[in-house]
Chain A
């Protein structure tokens, strides 16, 4: 921990987006699993994820960032899937 002599007066946080150094993945009790074969690339999971934990590269869903995913399950719930089959399912952590 910092000493008082090392603090910025006024408690200003100088580094934008520094929360990325704080991993919230350990909060998870359930983890989302991506079933690529059922994915229609609608990006609803990315849009609705409260934790910016869906990795999208070049406009395409490529998986989850488990360093930050808290396992809420919103992505799985909102996933329309393909022909009734979800592209995201929730599984107990550690299974």
Chain B
């Protein structure tokens, strides 16, 4: 079995990419992701992978080149953060519309302006409608595991979709944590060889990629894309199950923490979920029935399963590390949708939304405690004040 190490999230992800040994890596530096492509470049320079490196002159070109390379017919990786993802925006839709499995760690970082290099989820949430699969990771271990699984998921012949693996900038990307690596040959065997589907570089059968599609067919192509996205959930479960057998680490569509008999719960992504779990335990010790749900697969969003997992609760707070100005937080909108559709036998939890941790603002146990105690009051019948509220902010 694997080797226990103390590494940063970036190092863990870079090693997962090394173990996958992709054909092409197109790259462009951006904080806090740079460390990944830097490490990967040294793997190339030292002959630890057979990958061809492409040092693009922008993220837009890095994604364009990744698309060209993936269309060519081979395994492709890149990585980005924040402004880089924003610059790629146009090409993200093209990667998914062309059904090209590109693997991209996204080290979550705030968006300008004002300029900020620290972790929040504005970048990833902004890309939720691009047709990419999104897996979110709490810590270095999850980021590593998700990166390995992402090759199997994205390249699966039922779907063939690009996939971003998200982890929190600095908090996870640059903090050293204990985790466990799988052996190189185990990963190689698990991921398997790349399977080509309609490769552009098939010289005997020239194909055209990227036609003009007008009103008479565009709608049908999008319907097909919707269909393919609908297959992702099962692929994720199947791959996660297989990965569990290999690693002993279990992954589903989301993580439920002390949720079954809970009355109140937080829904929270990534690293802040770890802090929150500690506080859930603390309140449980005091007799408060608290729980937590940490989404993993955010696109496609498992509405039915999440609805089922939360419907018995009395009050839920959806924590968003991103804001949709003029709207509720992006995660809150998903949970609201899930709950509206959920079969709650006429009873549904009260929902509130807190915006926390923007631009890397610390999220502390006392933040989680305050929110959970507020939920406890709501569960007991206290009225809901503001539905959406900033926390951890100087008033």
Contacts and interface: CB of A to CB of B under 8 A. Distances in A.
Let me know if chains A and B touch directly in the complex, using CB atoms closer than 8 Å.
Answer: yes
Interface of A: 1-5, 7-14, 16
B345 interface: no
Interface string B193-232: 0000010000001111111010011001101100110000
B160 interface: yes
A47 B206 CA distance: 24
A11 B220 contact: no
A10 B209 contact: yes
Contacts of B205: 14, 16
Main secondary structure of the interface of B (DSSP, over half): loop
Interface of B: 97-100, 160, 198, 205-211, 213, 216-217, 220-221, 223-224, 227-228
Contacts of A16: 205-208
A6 to B, nearest CB: 8
Contacts of B206: 16
26 contacts: A1-B216, A3-B220, A4-B220, A4-B224, A4-B227, A5-B224, A7-B217, A9-B99, A9-B160, A10-B97, A10-B99, A10-B100, A11-B97, A11-B98, A11-B209, A11-B210, A11-B221, A12-B198, A12-B208, A13-B208, A13-B211, A14-B198, A14-B205, A14-B207, A16-B205, A16-B207
B376 to A, nearest CB: 49
A3 to B, nearest CB: 7
Given A7-B221, A9-B228, A11-B210, 17 more contacts: A1-B217, A3-B220, A5-B224, A7-B217, A10-B97, A10-B98, A10-B100, A10-B198, A10-B209, A11-B97, A11-B211, A12-B198, A12-B207, A13-B207, A13-B209, A13-B211, A14-B198
Contacts of B228: 9
Contacts, number: 50
A4 B306 CA distance: 29
Contacts of B208: 12-13, 16
A38 B207 CA distance: 41
A8 B206 CA distance: 15
B220 A7 contact: yes
Contacts of A13: 207-209, 211
Contacts of B216: 1
